[in-house]
Amino acid sequence: KRLILIGPPGSGKGTQSPIIKDEYCLCHLATGDMLRAAVAAKTPLGIKAKETMEKGELVSDDLVVGIIDEAMKKPSCQKGFILDGFPRTVAQAEKLDEMLEKQGTKIDKVLDFAIDDSILEERITGRWIHAASGRTYHTKFAPPKVPGTDDVTGEPLMQRKDDTAAVLKSRLEAFHRQTEPVIDYYSKKGVVAKLPAEKPPKEVTVEVQKVLS
């Protein structure tokens, strides 16, 4: 399967991805994770992206299209993939469709994580991450066994620099202005499935499974 997950920050894309990935043996490509890794490693790409990400704005289309083009060549992606956080603009979607067309494939489903903005601040400001694995916790909704510590490795958890109420505001603006049109773009192709992303994680998983079965 070739899937796209679209939703505002905090809508649960990163939480559902590992579950879908394991169930259907797909690779998980999250442009945000890849960009953060590049920032942490201070690669030329990371140096370019850092400031834009900290402001909650989108990095340039060429930059992320390049990352995705490279990542999709991995052997683990040949059976299918989950694109998490990409495409975020109509230009990115058009580039992606071009790339897939060349391989004689196309997107099977776009999962639209529909949720009201008002819920997202609490989700974002309570998010804690194990950076090495991408495992995500929440102080209230998904607390780790030991506060501030990853359940599996016992390593410390971190908070993302952009997970503040102020930066969330710009990220939401970018979502409504630049990313919502991507949902319309794929709706016209008849591949969008809308999910009730405000429900508890397990219920969202059940809805995802219904859509993909």
144 binds ligand ADP (CB under 6 A): no
Question: What mask of x and - would describe binding to ligand ADP in positions 176 to 195, judged by CB under 6 A?
Answer: --------------------
The reply to whether 40 sits near ligand ADP by the rule CB under 6 A is yes
Q: How far apart are CA 28 and CA 21, in angstroms?
A: 6
Distance between CA atoms of 209 and 213, rounded to whole angstroms?
6
Restricting to residues 76-115, which ones interact with ligand ADP according to CB under 6 A? 85-86, 88, 92
164 touches ligand ADP (CB under 6 A): no
Query: Are 28 and 79 in contact, with CB atoms under 8 Å apart?
Result: no
The distance of closest approach from Cβ of residue 87 to ligand ADP in the complex, given in angstroms and rounded to an integer, is 6
Region near ligand ADP per CB under 6 A, out of 18-26, 93-101, 103-111, 119-127: 119-127
- Distance from C-alpha of 63 to C-alpha of 66, rounded to nearest angstrom: 5
SS3 88: coil
Residue 206 Cβ, how far from ligand ADP at the closest point, in Å?
11
CB 111 within 8 A of CB 4: yes
For the question of residue 160 being annotated catalytic, the response is: yes
d(CA 120, CA 139): 14
Q: Please identify every residue annotated as catalytic.
A: 13, 88, 127, 160, 171
